[in-house]
């Protein structure tokens, strides 16, 4: 898929690796100048794309969020596309809610939901002044169809889904399109080690999960990036308040007989 993003300035959070890096790369390949941001070093990822830069950004730090958005506007003069991709989860506490510790809950909500709010709030102020912009939030299918033993992640991503729709209602009149992408299980370096590699800790559980996915495999970061590019495409002008599932059919319905 191709889109003409020439002259556009994009900011992607969590862009040092995985899905965020693939999204930033895809936007850059279609002509956008991209700011790769991450709490980790995003410079190696950004150097692949001429005209793109890396900035350190901890989405849980409001002062740093404001500083980075201001730097983007100072250096590039505008901000056209924000992709809220930064997110975390934990494998250390796969337990029911009565056993789920607060110390695991707080950081997930802080990054996955509150961090998205912080970055969106600052970016929306810029976009309102411009009278245009795109905000694309990376949610998850667990925000649409909850899974067991992940109460914090499920709550955060469900919050992202409805926050996306609320933002669409609020910001649409100002020329800002807001949408979300809900990936299913995606093959990254991290999930390869945990789930999909021959020595994966949860490889048996993943086999059972994939039996319910009609395409029978995990997605790839680039497949998520294509969905983001569709929502960022300047020719796509009437998709608004939508959550685009990219899950191989996982949430389409039951794929197995009972």
Is the CB of residue 19 less than 8 Å from the CB of residue 183?
A: yes
DSSP secondary structure, the chain, as one string: -----TT-EEEESS-SSHHHHHHHHHHHHTT-EEEEEESS--HHHHTTSTT-EEEE--TT-HHHHHHHHHHHHHHHS---EEEE------STT-S-GGG--HHHHHHHHIIIIIHHHHHHHHHHHHHHHHT-EEEEEE--GGGTS--TT-HHHHHHHHHHHHHHHHHHHHHGGGTEEEEEEEE-SB--HHHIIIIISTT-TTHHHHHHHHTTSTT-S-B-HHHHHHHHHHHH-TT--S--S-EEEESTTGGGS--S--
Is the CB of residue 252 less than 8 Å from the CB of residue 214?
A: yes
Return the C-alpha torsion angle 180, 129, 71, 37, nearest 10: 0
Tell me, rounded to whole angstroms, the distance of Cα 220 from its chain centroid. 14
Is the CB of residue 246 less than 8 Å from the CB of residue 182?
A: yes
Active site residue 100: no
Selecting among 153, 196, 238, 254, the annotated active-site residue is 153
Q: Which two tokens stand for residue 189?
A: 């370096």
Which residues are marked as active site?
Answer: 153
């Amino acid at each position: 898929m191709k889109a003409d993003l020439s002259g556009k300035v994009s900011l992607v959070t969590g862009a040092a690796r995985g899905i965020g890096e693939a999204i930033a790369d895809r936007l850059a390949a279609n002509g956008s100048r991209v700011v790769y941001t991450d709490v980790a070093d995003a410079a190696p990822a950004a150097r692949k794309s001429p005209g793109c830069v890396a900035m350190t950004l901890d989405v849980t730090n409001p002062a740093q969020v404001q500083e980075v958005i201001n730097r983007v506007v100072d250096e590039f003069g505008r901000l056209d596309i924000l992709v809220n991709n930064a997110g975390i989860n934990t494998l250390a506490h796969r337990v029911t809610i009565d056993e789920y510790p607060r110390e695991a809950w707080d950081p997930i909500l802080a990054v996955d939901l509150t961090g998205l709010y912080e970055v969106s709030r600052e970016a929306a102020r810029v976009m309102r002044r411009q009278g245009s912009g795109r905000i694309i939030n990376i949610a998850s299918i667990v925000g649409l169809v909850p899974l067991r033993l992940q109460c914090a992640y499920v709550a955060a991503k469900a919050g992202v889904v409805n926050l996306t729709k609320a933002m669409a209602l609020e910001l649409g009149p100002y020329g800002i399109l807001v949408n979300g992408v809900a990936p299913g299980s995606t093959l990254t370096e991290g999930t390869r080690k945990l789930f999909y590699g021959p020595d994966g800790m949860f490889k048996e559980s993943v086999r059972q999960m994939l039996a319910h996915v009609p395409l029978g495999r995990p997605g790839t970061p680039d497949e998520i990036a294509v969905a983001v590019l569709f929502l960022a495409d300047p020719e796509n002008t009437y998709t608004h308040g939508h959550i685009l599932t990219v899950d191989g059919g996982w949430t389409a319905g039951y794929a197995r007989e009972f």
